[in-house]
Amino acid sequence: MALTIGVLALQGAFIEHEAMLHRLGVRTVEVRKPEHLAGLDGLILPGGESTTMGLVAECWGLVAPLKAWVQAGKPIWGTCAGMILLANRAIGQKAGGQPLIGGLDVTVSRNYFGRQNESFETFLRVPRLGEEPVRAVFIRAPAIVEVGSDVEALARVAGRGEEVVVAVQQANILATAFHPELTDDLRWHQLFIEMVEVQKGRGDLNLERVERTC
């Protein structure tokens, strides 16, 4: 049976992810409410503004089901803002903090590379994806500055006087600081689909106790 992957569609570049998945023959669902999570094989948290997504997710009672998704061991991939939402620790949040989903044992630094004028393109060496370097677009991007012991670093770039990690996998969680959905390279989406195929049907999701906060 064909896979169905949800893309969190509260704000940001969710249509771009859907277009990539469609090219790979995967069905997609836009997730705006907790009930949209039912029956999905995998979930993508797209790029956008993590503060906006966090606030809207909290308002519609999505934070608890998303936490449950991660804890159930179901496959999830966060790009840029999505990676920030998945991180256990974040530096450089807005005043008063922001709601995080967590589960990924890393520390991310928001806007690590700077503001838009420092946004950049580069080619990454990613052994997991093969010999050919992968084009990567970083938009006001975060970086991973601390990696837990169960986390595999998949790609690095030169940061501020140090190398920083920009792509990781930890069991069911994939995270990238950049935007594969803004390029023509389907390899990251393929990698995620492989994770979903392996982990399909893992974990039960209880969507019953959902509370809205606004």
Partner 1 sequence: MNDSSNRTRNGASEQNDVITGTFAVKVGLAQMLKGGVIMDVVTAEQARIAEEAGACAVMALERVPADIRKDGGVARMSDPRKIKEIIEAVTIPVMAKVRIGHFVEAQILQALGVDYIDESEVLTPADEEHHINKHKFTTPFVCGARDLGEALRRIAEGAAMIRTKGEAGTGNIVEAVRHARAVNGAIRRLRSMDEDELFAYAKEIRAPYSLVKLTAELGRLPVVNFAAGGVATPADAALMMQLGMDGVFVGSGIFKSGNPEKRARAIVMAVTHYNDPQILAEVSEDLGEPMVGVNLDTLSEADKMAVRGW
Task: Determine contact, residues 139/179, Cβ cutoff 8 Å.
Answer: yes
State which H helix or E strand residue 157 sits in.
Answer: strand 152-158
In the bound state with partner 1, the residue whose beta carbon lies nearer, of 40 and 84, is: 84
Nearest Cα to Cα of residue 128 among 154, 150, 153, 147 = 154
Q: Which two three-digit tokens encode residue 176?
A: 């990238």
Q: What's the closest the beta carbon of residue 80 comes to partner 1, in angstroms?
A: 7
- Segment near partner 1 (CB under 8 A), from 3-11, 70-78, 169-177, 196-204? 3-11
Q: How many binding residues for partner 1 (CB under 8 A)?
A: 50
Q: What's the closest the beta carbon of residue 78 comes to partner 1, in angstroms?
A: 14
Q: Which two three-digit tokens encode residue 209?
A: 């106790």
Site string for partner 1, 68-97 (x = CB under 8 A): ------------xx----------xxxxx-
* β 120-124/104-109 pair status: unpaired
115 belongs to the binding site for partner 1 (CB under 8 A): yes
Length of the chain: 214
- Segment near partner 1 (CB under 8 A), from 6-14, 21-29, 101-109, 198-206? 6-14
Three-state secondary-structure class, residue 172: coil
Nearest Cα to Cα of residue 86 among 177, 182, 195, 2 = 177
Residue 113 CA to residue 56 CA, distance in Å, equals 26
Residue 140 CA to residue 153 CA, distance in Å, equals 21
Q: Which two three-digit tokens encode residue 195?
A: 């994770």
Instruction: List the interface residues with partner 1, window 142-171 (CB under 8 A).
Output: 156-158, 162-163
- Segment near partner 1 (CB under 8 A), from 4-12, 101-109, 168-176, 195-203? 4-12
In the bound state with partner 1, the residue whose beta carbon lies nearer, of 163 and 197, is: 163
Active-site residue numbers?
A: 80, 179, 181
111 belongs to the binding site for partner 1 (CB under 8 A): yes
47 belongs to the binding site for partner 1 (CB under 8 A): yes
Residue 35 CA to residue 192 CA, distance in Å, equals 23
Binding stretches for partner 1 (CB under 8 A):
9-16, 32, 47-49, 51-52, 55-56, 59, 80-81, 92-96, 110-111, 115-125, 133, 137-140, 156-158, 162-163, 179, 182, 214
